[in-house]
């Protein structure tokens, strides 16, 4: 990171932790395919299995439950397409890799509505599950845009009464709040390395042992015959190191930031959120203008609704929450991480006051 830049976009990608970088560099210096039987291959296999054990340990799961993928989106695709059910109930605020995959899977798909804080309607879920064949329910543990934490254990309790399976996208939660596979009692869980200080290019789907799962990628017996393809040894070992590194609590910094944002609307502030995430809007100022102004001032932040084209699209998350139009089009996301300092927060707050005052001046005139 350049010294004149302040990085506050950890929900998009968190910078690589030193512990992850160290083991990755060591792995890159070694030759060997983890499926080969010679010494080099066995060494590569040992690296992969050590990482699998570290991730399982961090989750309170068994190593054999962890299937490595190329990232969270692939893991979500595997969960949605690989589960043998006729229908899906998906929260309206899920990541596009769940919603779009579900809609293209050939299954019957119904969106679970949410309230103005982004919390799923549990009564709706109960009624919907009572009126149809066996389903897969997908509700993320923490939302990537707002940081709002979902009542996943309550979702599981309802699903169990109706014989449904539950998948939870925990990509944003791991490394920020406690995530335990057994405590949540879900059937499938999605993870991604680069959201918690690991490398881009590694993720995992954690699958309960008695859950049947079809393949997306064929052609080899890797990952317990559930995901073909040579394992990315360096990325996987970095994932394991980042997961083993534990959580970093930046809630005091997040609260300090929010207290100082004059005239701002903090979305989801009435419910439990990730300790690092602030989704905020200043009514009357659009997100794209704010993003450009902060970028020019040296701050990396995002709009939760930024799309792959680099433009700012309308957020399906904020729309599902029923928020006013100027909040939907004006919301930006500030997400802190393992290397965020008090000075970073103070610089952002000072810049926000200057930028918002400058952008509001023409409106006042």
Positions marked active-site? 307
Tokens of 242: 């980042």
Tokens of 23: 């083991």
Distance, CA of 96 to CA of 294 (rounded, Å): 26
Contact between 190 and 76 under an 8 Å Cβ cutoff? The reply is: yes
Q: What are phi and psi of 18, to 5 degrees?
A: -55, -40
CA 67 to chain CA mean position, Å:
17
Q: Which residues pair with 188 in a beta bridge?
A: 167, 207
Contact between 133 and 169 under an 8 Å Cβ cutoff? The reply is: no
Taking CA atoms, 63 is separated from 51, 52, 57, in Å, by: 9, 6, 8
Task: Classify residue 178 as exposed, middle or buried by CB count within 10 Å of its CB (0-12, 13-18, 19+).
Answer: exposed
Taking CA atoms, 9 is separated from 57, 145, 195, 219, in Å, by: 28, 11, 10, 37
Pairing of strands 332-335, 299-300: unpaired
Task: Classify residue 296 as exposed, middle or buried by CB count within 10 Å of its CB (0-12, 13-18, 19+).
Answer: exposed
Distance, CA of 82 to CA of 312 (rounded, Å): 32
Q: What DSSP string describes 212-241?
A: ----SS-SS-HHHHTS-S---HHHHHHHHH
């Amino acid at each position: 990171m350049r010294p004149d830049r302040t990085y506050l976009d950890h929900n998009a990608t968190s910078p690589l932790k030193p512990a992850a970088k160290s083991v990755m560099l060591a792995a890159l210096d070694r030759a060997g395919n983890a499926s080969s039987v010679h010494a080099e291959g066995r060494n590569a296999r040992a690296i992969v299995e050590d990482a699998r054990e570290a991730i399982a340990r961090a989750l309170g799961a068994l190593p054999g439950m962890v299937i490595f993928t190329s990232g969270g989106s692939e893991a979500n695709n595997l969960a949605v397409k690989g589960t043998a059910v006729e229908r899906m109930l998906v929260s309206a605020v899920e990541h596009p890799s769940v919603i779009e995959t579900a809609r293209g899977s050939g299954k019957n798909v119904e969106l679970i509505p949410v309230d103005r804080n982004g919390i799923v309607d549990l009564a709706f879920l109960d009624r919907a599950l009572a009126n149809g064949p066996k389903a897969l329910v997908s509700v993320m543990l923490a939302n990537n845009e707002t940081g709002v934490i979902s009542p996943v254990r309550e979702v599981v309790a309802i699903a169990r009464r109706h014989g449904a399976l539950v998948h939870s996208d925990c990509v944003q939660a791991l490394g920020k709040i406690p995530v335990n596979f057994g405590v949540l009692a879900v059937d499938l869980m999605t993870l991604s390395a680069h959201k918690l200080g690991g490398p881009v290019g590694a993720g995992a789907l954690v699958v309960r042992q008695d859950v049947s799962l079809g393949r997306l990628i064929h052609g080899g017996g890797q990952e317990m015959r559930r995901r073909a393809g040579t394992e990315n040894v360096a990325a996987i070992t970095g994932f394991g190191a980042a997961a083993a590194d534990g959580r970093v609590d930046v809630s005091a910094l997040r609260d300090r930031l929010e207290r100082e944002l004059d005239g701002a609307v903090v979305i989801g502030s009435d419910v439990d959120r990730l300790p690092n995430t602030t989704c905020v809007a200043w009514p009357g100022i659009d997100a794209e203008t704010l993003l450009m102004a902060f970028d020019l001032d040296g701050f990396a932040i995002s709009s939760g609704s930024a799309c792959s084209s680099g433009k700012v699209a309308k957020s399906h998350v904020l729309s599902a929450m029923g928020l006013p139009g100027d909040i939907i089009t004006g919301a930006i996301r500030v997400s802190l991480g393992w290397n965020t300092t008090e000075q970073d927060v103070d610089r952002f707050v000072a810049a926000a006051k200057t930028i918002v005052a400058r952008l509001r001046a023409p409106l006042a005139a």
